[in-house]
């Protein structure tokens, strides 16, 4: 069953990421629109001011042009008057008109072209010329009155007309500019009439949008927090409460049960065939089974009960209020009945059995940890004794201390170096002993010889397996180095467990020990079962890859036991296939087994692997294996596992007799 976290982010996370982007886009959009509005309002007021200035200038120029025209007309009239009869009064008025004209011309030229511009000088030169011509005219009028008119036409009027043209032209031009500026101003104001409310509206929309985005992102943050809380308290695969939430609910139930009505019961459910399903069909099927089991358990209990998945293939049901142990037993029977029908998974029909342990608060424990511990003991008792359901009682407790005691003694035995290794020979088809398999033995002073089949599975459930494997590798390599020093070059094989294959420090540890003993990596072989690899295939492959790259020989142990998937073999960085003794042992009596053994040998060779037969118990089997092309053999017929010194005597004295 899957212990993995759900792969990849689910879709809801993708949606969330999109909404985070949109909340980031909001301030950017806001800034762009506000900047556009600011640019527009600055441009509008600059245009407004420029149009107003233009209009003002034009009005000014027009006014001065009017004055210039008037004073020019006065100049002309007074010139005529003086030509006929010059008087002091007319002269004074003439010079006043001249001054007015000069002032107007100066004003106009400085306003339009600048005070010191060429135009201003040109205009003043015209006025100078006019005044000089008038002075000459007055002389002509006095000396030759009959030539006055002609002189005026030819000399004075030219200047007069030129000045008048300039003034009229300037006045017209500025009036036109003023008109244009004013109509531009009008257009701008009309535009502003529309744009101002539109900008205001856009601003309002922006504020509304920002508010919506803010509210939405707050809501999303709250939903995210809820989801995180939910994930922290639930199992990703089945959606059921996890161990943490179960404990919380159990604490609440225990507190509520203080009123004395009923009691709290905890039921632990361990599925019996899940590992097999995972090993045989793969994790996808295991996951389907776990989900189906979760659904069925939920359907079998009351709404007030809590069904939780504690990890792997272990479930729990918390009954916050049960009358007595019989009520709990009845529910356990309902659970068993619910799990009874086969589970259809992708065309496969799968059956699971469950071992159920029950513990009752008050009777068996008063806090959550005690309840969990007692339900666990009851569950193991149900499993060990194939009871199906077991209710905890104090008598069962003896099993648990026994297990704990065994582990404690094992730890002490490892630390004290009391475990010994026996070595079983591996023999080539030509009868040469090419290596040994190291098999651990524990001679306990009180228990006697404890077989590895008893203590290894126990150690494998705890971190103690790391110390044990290190101990075995170290002892086996020490022995290997001693033999090498004596001229016996034997490869030594050590069995490793699933937990070793997920230990990141394992490879460095192995290589360091080889280096310490001065041995090449090829002196060591590591045997792993396929199910150990499949417990966490990705990490196991990585670790095996590093070991293979370093030159350590890798074997698949017990191949053919149970339901081995051939597909898994393909990409594994292994060198040897050890055919399980369950099929080797029968190959001379069972045609089917003989075919399987031959097929496995062929398969191994096609995959470039060396084949090793385990459990060779007689000469006929060995002969049949050699005939089938099996590369190596191991078994009681060839040599039993032996202590190192006995092995040395065996190889020197007895082996040559058996080999022939
Ligand atoms: P395995 O690795 O498959 O080792 C072979 C087992 O088959 C050994 O049992 C060996 O004594 C037994 N055997 C060998 N030839 C024959 C035969 O011809 N007939 C029969 N009936 N049995 C034969 P053992 O020593 O009891 O070990 C059992 C299992 O315990 C090993 O199976 C291995 O999985 C595990 N084991 C032993 N030592 C260690 C160790 O140091 N570390 C780990 N992790 N596991 C170990
Ligand atoms: Mg082995
Ligand atoms: Mg084996």
Overall average pLDDT of the 76-87 stretch: 86
* Residues having CB within 6 Å of any atom of ligand 1: 424, 439-440, 451-453, 456, 472, 495-497, 527, 557-558, 581, 614-617, 634-636, 641
Q: Which atom of ligand 1 is nearest to the CA of 459?
A: 44
Residue 2 confidence (pLDDT) above 70: no
- The CATH number for 113's domain is 1.20.120.1730
Question: Phi, psi at residue 339, to the nearest 5°?
Answer: -90, -5
Q: Looking at residue 157, what is its pLDDT?
A: 86
Q: Which atom of ligand 1 is nearest to the CA of 641?
A: 11
Q: Which atom of ligand 1 is nearest to the CA of 616?
A: 18
Q: Which ligand is nearest to the CA of 526?
A: 2
- Report the helix count and the strand count for the chain, using DSSP H and E: 22, 16
User: For 63-67, 193-197, 339-343, which range has the lowest pLDDT when averaged over its residues?
Assistant: 193-197
Overall average pLDDT of the 546-557 stretch: 97
Asked whether residue 620 is domain-assigned, the answer is yes
Q: Looking at residue 277, what is its pLDDT?
A: 78
Cα 524 to averaged position of ligand 3 atoms, centre (Å): 17
CA–CA separation, 58 and 527 (whole Å): 105
Substitution candidate for ligand 1 out of 421, 439, 458 with most atoms within 8 A of CB? 439
User: Residues 621, 530: one domain?
Assistant: yes
Q: Which residues of 249-276 are buried (b: 16+ CB within 10 A; e: fewer)?
A: bbeebbeebeeeebbbbbbbbbbbebbe
**H or E stretch at 5:** none
Cα 437 to averaged position of ligand 2 atoms, centre (Å): 7
What pLDDT digit, counting tens, does each position of 42-71 carry? 777 777 777 777 777 777 777 888 888 888
Residues 6+ apart with CB under 8 A from 566: 603
User: For 61-65, 257-261, 474-478, 525-529, which range has the lowest pLDDT when averaged over its residues?
Assistant: 257-261
CA–CA separation, 604 and 579 (whole Å): 10
Q: Are 420 and 643 in contact (CB under 8 A)?
A: yes
Substitution candidate for ligand 1 out of 419, 438, 452, 588 with most atoms within 8 A of CB? 452
Number of Cβ within a 10 Å radius of residue 212? 11
CA–CA separation, 631 and 611 (whole Å): 5
CA–CA separation, 129 and 338 (whole Å): 125
Cα 635 to averaged position of ligand 2 atoms, centre (Å): 12
**H or E stretch at 437:** strand 433-444
Q: Are 264 and 253 in contact (CB under 8 A)?
A: yes
Asked whether residue 107 is domain-assigned, the answer is yes
User: Residues 416, 378: one domain?
Assistant: no
Q: Are 111 and 60 in contact (CB under 8 A)?
A: yes
CA–CA separation, 43 and 611 (whole Å): 88
CA–CA separation, 352 and 642 (whole Å): 40
Overall average pLDDT of the 105-119 stretch: 79
User: Residues 209, 255: one domain?
Assistant: no
CA–CA separation, 460 and 275 (whole Å): 15
Asked whether residue 633 is domain-assigned, the answer is yes
Residue 474 confidence (pLDDT) above 70: yes
What's the number of CA atoms in the CB half-sphere (13 Å) around residue 631?
18
Asked whether residue 235 is domain-assigned, the answer is no
Residue 562 confidence (pLDDT) above 70: no
Cα 564 to averaged position of ligand 2 atoms, centre (Å): 16
SS3 291: helix
Q: Which ligand is nearest to the CA of 475?
A: 1
pLDDT band at 387 (very low <50, low <70, confident <90, very high): confident
Chain mean pLDDT for the chain = 85
Q: Are 486 and 520 in contact (CB under 8 A)?
A: no
Q: For ligand 1, atom 17, which residue shows the shortest CA distance?
A: 615
Whose CA is closest to 642, among 489, 498, 437, 447? 437
| Percentage of residues in the chain having pLDDT higher than 70 | 90
User: Residues 418, 387: one domain?
Assistant: no
State which of 343, 364, 399 marks the end of a domain.
Answer: 399
CA dihedral 61, 66, 70, 75 (to 10 degrees): 30
Cα→Cα distances 162→115, 120, 127, 221, 407, Å: 20, 14, 9, 83, 126
User: Residues 433, 542: one domain?
Assistant: yes
State which of 353, 377, 399 marks the end of a domain.
Answer: 399
| Percentage of residues in the chain having pLDDT higher than 90 | 40
User: Residues 414, 372: one domain?
Assistant: no
Q: For ligand 1, atom 22, which residue shows the shortest CA distance?
A: 615
User: Residues 310, 454: one domain?
Assistant: no
Q: Which atom of ligand 1 is nearest to the CA of 558?
A: 3
Q: What is the pTM of this model?
A: 0.51
Q: Looking at residue 304, what is its pLDDT?
A: 92
Place of tokens 């350590």: 552
- Beta strands (DSSP E) in 32-184 are none
User: Residues 394, 418: one domain?
Assistant: no
Cα 641 to averaged position of ligand 3 atoms, centre (Å): 13
- The CATH number for 609's domain is 3.20.20.450
Q: Which of 44-48, 57-61, 82-86, 171-175 has the highest mean pLDDT?
A: 82-86
Question: Phi, psi at residue 161, to the nearest 5°?
Answer: -65, -40
Asked whether residue 231 is domain-assigned, the answer is no
- The domain containing residue 262 runs over which residues? 243-399
CA–CA separation, 458 and 410 (whole Å): 10
Per the structure, the count of domains in the chain is: 3
Strand 314-322 to 263-271 pairing = antiparallel
Residue 209 confidence (pLDDT) above 60: yes
What pLDDT digit, counting tens, does each position of 259-301 carry? 666 789 999 999 877 777 776 777 788 889 999 999 999 999 9
Cα 558 to averaged position of ligand 3 atoms, centre (Å): 4
**CA angle in degrees (0–180, nearest 5) for 602-604-608:** 110
Asked whether residue 39 is domain-assigned, the answer is yes
What pLDDT digit, counting tens, does each position of 502-520 carry? 888 999 999 999 999 999 9
Asked whether residue 158 is domain-assigned, the answer is yes
Overall average pLDDT of the 37-46 stretch: 73
CA dihedral 230, 232, 236, 240 (to 10 degrees): -60
CA–CA separation, 126 and 160 (whole Å): 8
- The CATH number for 280's domain is 3.30.70.270
Residue 399 confidence (pLDDT) above 80: no
Cα 486 to averaged position of ligand 2 atoms, centre (Å): 26
User: Residues 325, 366: one domain?
Assistant: yes
Q: Which atom of ligand 1 is nearest to the CA of 529?
A: 34
CA–CA separation, 657 and 641 (whole Å): 18
Q: Which atom of ligand 1 is nearest to the CA of 617?
A: 18
Q: Are 246 and 318 in contact (CB under 8 A)?
A: yes
Task: Give rounded-to-5 percent helix, strand, coil for the chain.
Answer: 65, 15, 20
User: Residues 303, 247: one domain?
Assistant: yes
Q: Looking at residue 15, what is its pLDDT?
A: 35
Number of Cβ within a 10 Å radius of residue 324? 12
Largest CA distance in the chain: 171
User: Residues 315, 209: one domain?
Assistant: no
Cα 451 to averaged position of ligand 1 atoms, centre (Å): 9
Asked whether residue 106 is domain-assigned, the answer is yes
The tokens describing 452, both together, are: 């590895």
Cα 534 to averaged position of ligand 3 atoms, centre (Å): 17
Question: Phi, psi at residue 521, to the nearest 5°?
Answer: -60, -30
User: Residues 560, 526: one domain?
Assistant: yes
Cα→Cα distances 81→92, 102, 207, 561, Å: 12, 20, 78, 142
State which of 399, 426, 441 marks the end of a domain.
Answer: 399
């Amino acid at each position: 069953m899957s212990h993995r976290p759900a792969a990849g982010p689910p879709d809801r996370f993708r949606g969330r990421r999109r909404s985070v982007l949109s909340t980031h886009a909001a301030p950017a959009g806001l800034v762009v629109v506000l900047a556009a509005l600011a640019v527009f309002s600055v441009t509008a007021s600059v245009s407004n001011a420029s149009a107003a200035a233009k209009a003002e200038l034009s009005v000014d120029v027009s006014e001065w042009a009017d004055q210039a025209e008037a004073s020019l007309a006065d100049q002309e009239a007074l010139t005529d008057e003086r030509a006929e009869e010059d008087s002091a009064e007319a002269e004074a008025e003439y010079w006043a008109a001249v001054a007015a004209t000069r002032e107007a011309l100066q004003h106009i030229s400085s306003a339009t072209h600048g005070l010191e511009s060429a135009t201003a000088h040109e205009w003043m030169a015209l006025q100078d010329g006019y005044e000089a011509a008038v002075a000459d005219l007055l002389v002509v009028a006095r000396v030759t009155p009959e030539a006055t008119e002609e002189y005026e036409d030819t000399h004075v009027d030219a200047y007069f007309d030129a000045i008048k043209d300039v003034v009229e032209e300037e006045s017209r031009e500025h009036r036109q500019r003023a008109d244009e500026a004013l109509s531009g101003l009008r257009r701008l104001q009309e535009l502003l009439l529309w744009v101002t409310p539109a900008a205001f509206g856009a601003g309002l929309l922006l504020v509304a949008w920002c508010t919506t985005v803010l509210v939405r992102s707050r809501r999303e943050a709250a939903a995210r927090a809820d989801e995180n809380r939910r994930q922290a308290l639930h199992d990703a695969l089945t959606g059921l409460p996890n161990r943490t939430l179960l404990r919380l609910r159990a604490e609440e139930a225990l507190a509520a049960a203080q009123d004395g009505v009923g009691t709290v019961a905890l039921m632990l459910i361990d599925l019996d065939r899940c590992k097999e399903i995972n090993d045989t069909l793969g994790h996808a099927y295991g996951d389907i089974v776990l989900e189906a089991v979760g659904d069925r358990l939920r359907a079998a209990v009351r709404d007030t009960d809590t069904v939780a998945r504690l990890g792997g293939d272990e479930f729990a049901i918390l009954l916050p209020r049960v009358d007595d142990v019989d009520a709990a037993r009845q529910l356990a029977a309902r659970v068993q009945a619910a799990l009874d029908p086969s589970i259809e998974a992708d065309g496969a029909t799968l059956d699971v059995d469950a071992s159920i342990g029950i513990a009752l608060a008050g009777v068996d424990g008063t806090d959550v940890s005690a309840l969990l511990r007692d339900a666990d003991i009851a569950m193991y008792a149900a499993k060990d004794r194939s009871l199906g359901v077991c209710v905890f009682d104090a008598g069962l407790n003896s099993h648990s201390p026994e297990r704990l005691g065994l582990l404690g003694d094992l730890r002490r035995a490892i630390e004290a170096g009391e475990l010994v290794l026996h070595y079983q020979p591996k023999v080539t088809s030509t009868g040469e002993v090419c290596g040994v398999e190291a098999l651990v033995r524990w001679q306990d002073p009180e228990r006697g010889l404890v077989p590895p089949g008893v203590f290894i599975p126990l150690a494998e459930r705890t971190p103690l397996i790391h110390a044990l494997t290190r101990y075995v590798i170290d002892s086996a390599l020490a022995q290997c180095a001693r033999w090498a020093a004596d001229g016996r070059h034997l490869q030594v094989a050590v069995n490793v467990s699933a937990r070793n294959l997920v230990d990141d420090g394992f490879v460095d540890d192995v290589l360091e020990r080889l280096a310490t003993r001065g041995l090449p990596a090829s002196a060591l072989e590591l045997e792993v079962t396929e199910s150990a690899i499949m417990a966490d295939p990705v990490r196991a492959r990585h670790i095996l890859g590093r070991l293979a790259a370093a030159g350590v020989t890798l074997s698949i142990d017990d191949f053919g036991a149970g339901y081995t998937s051939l597909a898994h073999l393909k990409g594994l960085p292994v060198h040897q296939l050890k055919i399980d003794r369950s099929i080797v042992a029968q190959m001379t009596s069972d045609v089917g087994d003989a075919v399987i053994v031959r097929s496995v040998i062929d398969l191994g060779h096609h995959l470039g692997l060396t084949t090793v037969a385990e459990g060779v118990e007689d000469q006929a089997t060995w002969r049949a294996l050699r005939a089938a092309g099996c590369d190596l053999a191991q078994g009681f017929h060839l040599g039993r596992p032996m202590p190192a010194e006995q092995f040395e005597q065996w190889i020197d004295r007895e082996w040559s007799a058996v080999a022939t």
